[in-house]
Chain A
Amino acid sequence: MRSSVDSLPMKIIADDRPNPSQKPPKRRKKLATDLESPIFSLPALAVIVVGVFVPMAVLIVYSLWPTVDQEVVREWTFTNYLRFFESKVYWGTLLRSLLFASLASALTVILTFPFAYFVALKVQPERRLIWVLIAVVPFFTSYLIRVFAWMTLLGDTGLLNQGLMYVGLIESPLWLLGLNSSGIVLTFVYLLFPLAFLTAFIALERTNPTILEAAADLGARPWQGLIYVTLPVARTGIMGGFVFSTITILGDYVTPQLIGGTDGYLYSNIIQRQFGSSVQWGFGSALALILLVIVFVLLLVLRQVTGGAAQVGTFSRQFNPSSSPVLKAYAIAFLAFLYTPIGLLLVLALNDNTSIGFPFNGVTLRWFAAILSDPLLLESLRNSLIVAFASVSISVVLGTVAAVQLARSYGQWRQASLAIISVPLFLPPMLLGLAIIIGLNALGIERGLWTIITGHTILWLPVVTLLVLIRLEGLDPNLELAAMDLGAPPVTALARVSVPQALPGIVAAALISFALSMDEFILTALVTGADSTLPLYIFGQLRFNVTPAVVALSVTLLLVSFALLVMGALLATRGKGGPPVPAPNAIQNVSQ
């Protein structure tokens, strides 16, 4: 290891004064301990290749085999695909699902954009993080519990319709607030808000605010500035939010049915049924592959319309935003929309009423105590914790090691590795789950808790790798060079200089993954054997009877995961490389 430092000056001397009688010093051998060695990112790559690419290949093979008497027969045929195109039930549902998903996503993006615009361009820089946190906090509640909140709010007897009728604003229940297609759209707008918000916010926040002034200066009225400058510049974020929302909806086989009943029977439900009660694995694989192709097409479209608008030149954050009362009112109304279901959950968790709902009989904490007396719930909690600990630990170790290597590599290896590791981020978890169970089925392996751990590892590995990589690349590369210049071998430089600097990023990635793991349902439900996790338990309750203890549990989970995520966010932003954010006075001083 020492040689890597020692050989450098020698090499320079050899280059400067060629001496024919002396053999040129040997190039230092590539040691396995060199951090540039691709060996370090191999474990992470292997997990993704074995866990995603191989099962996808099996999926393709299965889709070409017919199913006879619930058994896959090994004969090559296109019958599975023909069956899809022959029956309107299948392709009709797919078209309906596509239309539905894109409409719901478009609505989400349109409703979210003014809010993101307000936070990114009208809120003073030092208050932005607070606004972002406030906006995203409601999403630290369990996904299924949020769906449950909307189940309570919507419908003819739902709280919204009943409330509006009670105050006399309407006479009969509104279809818009019903447990139907409209309700599904409303619920998805709520569920997908953080995705659409964060993508639009990041795009807007990165743009030079002076270009908006430049547009006005050149004669653009505010609406012209929006159409000709703001929207085109933020299009990557807007389209990204739209495409990922659409992919999420297409892969969600739970929410539409819970909210909309038969209205919510979508393409994803057809796929899921092939692997459940119908036991049509071949046909199911074909349907899943068709979905996969659609996802690819969506991602390609995204790639085509976006990019190109790279930031030009340096810019300072000196910008005195004009206040906009209309946008501010909209933002506050939007926050009310985000917090209503959360407030409702809190009330329900504290309500001294054995059935969930109203009337409100006074405050009790007994539902929180009841959490501890349900053995199945405790068992599920235990399983969830095991899965989260195991999958996050593996992801953190493999992801960090891979990130350390990727941060130092460049060129095609890096591009290819990053692309491979990121694949799970772009696929609906449903497809990942299906691929895993098909892979296991092909190998004849029984499912168990460990299959859930594997699935979660595949999901969190890219999250950890990318978060740590971003952090590592934000560090000044000269720090490590300085350490080596002072005599530290590469591994010591890494351990003593880079890792301590990257630690907040690693911890943040671990906390975020842990919170996500405790809440994962879509993939877990597919790959589980007989084991229950917390989300699976909650799902069982949603389908039959929801006890107030579940609501109390979800409120507890909200508080815990909120604490974890805030810790993660604070760690991730603390002491980041680069100049400190200037105080408001400093910003204005610069602008004069």
Chain B
Amino acid sequence: MSVALRCSNLSKRYAGQQGPALGEGGNGISFEVERGELFALLGPSGCGKTTTLRIIGGFVEPDAGTVFIDGKDVTFAPPYRRPTNTVFQSYALFPHLRLGANVAFGLKMTGARRSEQDHRSSQALRMVGLGGLENRKISELSGGQQQRAALARALANGPSVLLLDEPLGALDLTLRRQMQDELVTLKRETNTTFIHVTHDQEEACAMADRIAVMDRGQIAQIDTPQMLYRNPRSTHVARFINLGTIVKGSTRRDGFHARLEASGIVLEGRVQPTIPQHSRLAAVLPRGRTRLSSGAPTGATNEIKGTVERAVFTGLNHELLVRSESGALLNVSAAADVFDVADKGRAVVLTWSPDDVLFVEDTDDLQQNSSPYEPSQAS
């Protein structure tokens, strides 16, 4: 495997804007992407993911750092001299050109012969399932077709890195699922490197080989989807992938294990080995690993007593909001066949095995959250 894209130490600050958009001080972001890999940049809006993509595409010059594509330094090369092509969020199809001419545009710019333009653009259109529609006007295409057209246009040039800026954001759920599969298939068939910007963690998981979770202009973690869910590094990552409830309190770390005490409960679990020794820690209670019972509490560790505040049946699970005795709210899921606890007002006991309680680095600002518990997201 060879490295298709290498970003090192990138930082960017926009004029007239508070704080840097990407990186901070001399501490920019760095990552490498293998050829043929689908690499997702995941994060909330304002985290710097689109800025990173625009730097790779050549639309923004970084204040510091370098971008290498296929081993060549392209940091200051204009977009038209880079082996990258972009699928824009708004598609940016040329309204004055028909579908075929839109897709052939890049080939025309490079001076390809007319016959080659036609051949390769119809090939690209067939690849995305729009074969034979060359003479359609852009305004006659549906939203999903426009999305495919933008994809075909970007692929027709045979880029070595394809940049996707929230490409599926405007599609409805069914179509989005379908396009996710098709994009993965296309990546495999063309062996192109994909950089995919999204704020949808499910989409990133479904598609990406590796995910970079971004937070306030920094990369919080780069991992495969499985590793990300199993071993989130920080509270930010855990919160963004909606893993479960974050609990804060006084912690004591002992190698790969840690213990937390807060408002009458005790939690024990494993610590991410990569977390530095003296970092602040917080516990994450993954929602799917919660054991629910209505029996009497035993007073053991990893146990919280509470009442069901709200229950939402999602088809596969009951998503429960449980209020603990200390008054905090916790997000848990229960299997769909656990009927007896899924009622509002029911007293329940929540337990976790020590293997499921994760201790992650607390990357939140100190003043945030006076309550030790924090439901990741009330669903």
Q: CB distance B16 to A211 under 8 Å? A: no
B79 — nearest CB in chain A belongs to which residue? A216
B294 within 8 Å of A (CB atoms)? no
User: When the two chains form the complex, which single residue of B21, B146, B154 contacts A313, counting CB atoms closer than 8 Å?
Assistant: B146
Contact with B along A188-213 (1 / 0, CB 8 A): 00000000000000000001101101
User: When the two chains form the complex, which single residue of A210, A224, A588 contacts B90, counting CB atoms closer than 8 Å?
Assistant: A210
Q: CB distance A233 to B96 under 8 Å? A: yes
Contact with A along B91-116 (1 / 0, CB 8 A): 11111110000000110111000000
Q: CB distance B14 to A588 under 8 Å? A: yes
Q: CB distance A216 to B78 under 8 Å? A: yes
**Cα separation A311 to B14 with both chains bound (whole Å):** 29
User: When the two chains form the complex, which single residue of A210, A218, A310, A592 contacts B109, counting CB atoms closer than 8 Å?
Assistant: A218
**Cα separation A590 to B46 with both chains bound (whole Å):** 7
Q: How far is the CB of A211 from chain B (nearest CB, A)?
A: 5
Check A313/B59 contact, CB under 8 A, given A218-B105, A218-B109.
Answer: no
**Cα separation A589 to B51 with both chains bound (whole Å):** 10
Q: How far is the CB of B215 from chain A (nearest CB, A)?
A: 12
B6 within 8 Å of A (CB atoms)? no
Stretch of B136-144, B254-262, B315-323, B338-346 at the chain-chain interface: B136-144
**Cα separation A229 to B94 with both chains bound (whole Å):** 7
Q: CB distance B80 to A219 under 8 Å? A: yes
Q: How far is the CB of A110 from chain B (nearest CB, A)?
A: 20
Interface positions, chain A 58-109, Cβ under 8 Å from B, are: none
Q: How far is the CB of B106 from chain A (nearest CB, A)?
A: 3
A220 within 8 Å of B (CB atoms)? yes
Interface positions, chain B 51-68, Cβ under 8 Å from A, are: 51, 54, 57-60
User: When the two chains form the complex, which single residue of B46, B88, B170 contacts A592, counting CB atoms closer than 8 Å?
Assistant: B46
Q: Which residues of A contact B57 (CB under 8 A)?
A: 217
Check A213/B88 contact, CB under 8 A, given A312-B138, A585-B17, A592-B46.
Answer: yes
A209 — nearest CB in chain B belongs to which residue? B92
B18 within 8 Å of A (CB atoms)? yes
User: When the two chains form the complex, which single residue of B18, B45, B84, B139 contacts A312, counting CB atoms closer than 8 Å?
Assistant: B139
Q: Which residues of A contact B14 (CB under 8 A)?
A: 320, 588
Check A213/B59 contact, CB under 8 A, given A588-B14, A591-B50, A592-B50.
Answer: yes
Q: How far is the CB of B103 from chain A (nearest CB, A)?
A: 10
Q: How far is the CB of A152 from chain B (nearest CB, A)?
A: 43
User: When the two chains form the complex, which single residue of B50, B86, B93 contacts A217, counting CB atoms closer than 8 Å?
Assistant: B86
Check A208/B49 contact, CB under 8 A, given A213-B79, A219-B106, A312-B139.
Answer: no
**Cα separation A585 to B157 with both chains bound (whole Å):** 35
Q: CB distance A232 to B16 under 8 Å? A: no
Interface-centre pick from A207, A312, A589, A591 (highest chain B CB count, 10 A): A312
**Cα separation A221 to B111 with both chains bound (whole Å):** 12
Q: Which residues of B contact A213 (CB under 8 A)?
A: 59, 79, 86, 88, 92
Q: CB distance A220 to B80 under 8 Å? A: yes
Q: Which residues of B contact A211 (CB under 8 A)?
A: 92-95
Interface positions, chain A 108-154, Cβ under 8 Å from B, are: none
Q: CB distance B46 to A217 under 8 Å? A: no
Check A320/B146 contact, CB under 8 A, given A210-B92, A589-B46.
Answer: no
Q: How far is the CB of A316 from chain B (nearest CB, A)?
A: 7
Q: CB distance B109 to A224 under 8 Å? A: yes
Q: CB distance A232 to B90 under 8 Å? A: no
Q: Which residues of B contact A316 (CB under 8 A)?
A: 90
Contact with A along B6-27 (1 / 0, CB 8 A): 0000000010111001000000
Q: CB distance A310 to B16 under 8 Å? A: no
Contact with B along A303-326 (1 / 0, CB 8 A): 000001111111110001000000
B90 — nearest CB in chain A belongs to which residue? A315
Q: Which residues of A contact B88 (CB under 8 A)?
A: 210, 213-214
B14 — nearest CB in chain A belongs to which residue? A588
Q: How large is the interface on A (under 10, 10 to 19, 20 to 34, 35 or more residues)?
A: 35 or more
B351 within 8 Å of A (CB atoms)? no
Q: CB distance B80 to A216 under 8 Å? A: yes
Interface positions, chain B 24-55, Cβ under 8 Å from A, are: 45-51, 54
Q: CB distance B93 to A312 under 8 Å? A: yes
Number of interface residues of B (CB under 8 A): 46
Q: Which residues of B contact A312 (CB under 8 A)?
A: 91, 93, 95, 138-139, 146
Q: Which residues of A contact B49 (CB under 8 A)?
A: 592
Q: Which residues of A contact B122 (CB under 8 A)?
A: none
Q: CB distance B146 to A214 under 8 Å? A: no
B101 — nearest CB in chain A belongs to which residue? A228
B140 — nearest CB in chain A belongs to which residue? A312
A500 within 8 Å of B (CB atoms)? no
Interface positions, chain A 316-338, Cβ under 8 Å from B, are: 316, 320
B234 within 8 Å of A (CB atoms)? no
A584 within 8 Å of B (CB atoms)? yes
Q: How far is the CB of B124 from chain A (nearest CB, A)?
A: 12
User: When the two chains form the complex, which single residue of B45, B90, B94, B109 contacts A233, counting CB atoms closer than 8 Å?
Assistant: B94
A215 within 8 Å of B (CB atoms)? yes
Q: Which residues of A contact B90 (CB under 8 A)?
A: 208, 210, 313-316
B85 within 8 Å of A (CB atoms)? yes
Q: Which residues of A contact B96 (CB under 8 A)?
A: 229, 232-233, 235, 308-309
Q: How far is the CB of B77 from chain A (nearest CB, A)?
A: 11
Q: Which residues of A contact B51 (CB under 8 A)?
A: 591-592
**Cα separation A591 to B60 with both chains bound (whole Å):** 11
Q: CB distance A584 to B16 under 8 Å? A: yes
Q: How far is the CB of A229 from chain B (nearest CB, A)?
A: 6
Q: Which residues of A contact B137 (CB under 8 A)?
A: 308
B305 within 8 Å of A (CB atoms)? no
Check A592/B60 contact, CB under 8 A, given A312-B138, A313-B146.
Answer: no
B196 within 8 Å of A (CB atoms)? no
Q: How far is the CB of B306 from chain A (nearest CB, A)?
A: 38
Q: Which residues of B contact A208 (CB under 8 A)?
A: 90, 92, 95
**Cα separation A350 to B279 with both chains bound (whole Å):** 76
Check A320/B93 contact, CB under 8 A, given A217-B85, A592-B21.
Answer: no
Q: Which residues of A contact B143 (CB under 8 A)?
A: 313
Q: How far is the CB of A323 from chain B (nearest CB, A)?
A: 10
Check A320/B59 contact, CB under 8 A, given A221-B80, A585-B16.
Answer: yes
B153 within 8 Å of A (CB atoms)? yes
Q: How far is the CB of A125 from chain B (nearest CB, A)?
A: 13
Q: CB distance B106 to A218 under 8 Å? A: yes
Q: Which residues of A contact B93 (CB under 8 A)?
A: 211, 214, 312-313
**Cα separation A454 to B47 with both chains bound (whole Å):** 62
**Cα separation A218 to B110 with both chains bound (whole Å):** 9
Interface-centre pick from B17, B48, B170 (highest chain A CB count, 10 A): B17
**Cα separation A232 to B48 with both chains bound (whole Å):** 34
Q: How far is the CB of B261 from chain A (nearest CB, A)?
A: 39
Q: Which residues of B contact A585 (CB under 8 A)?
A: 16-18
28 A-B Cβ contacts within 8 A? A208-B95, A211-B94, A214-B92, A216-B80, A217-B58, A218-B80, A218-B106, A219-B80, A219-B106, A220-B105, A233-B94, A309-B95, A309-B96, A310-B139, A312-B139, A316-B90, A320-B14, A320-B59, A320-B60, A588-B14, A588-B21, A589-B17, A589-B45, A589-B46, A591-B54, A592-B21, A592-B46, A592-B49
Extra contacts, 19 of them, besides A210-B92, A214-B86 (Cβ < 8 A), are A216-B59, A216-B79, A217-B86, A218-B154, A219-B106, A224-B109, A229-B94, A229-B96, A232-B96, A233-B96, A235-B96, A313-B90, A313-B93, A313-B146, A314-B90, A316-B90, A320-B60, A589-B17, A592-B21
| A-B pairs, 7 with minimum CB distance | A218-B106, A214-B92, A210-B92, A219-B109, A216-B79, A315-B90, A309-B96
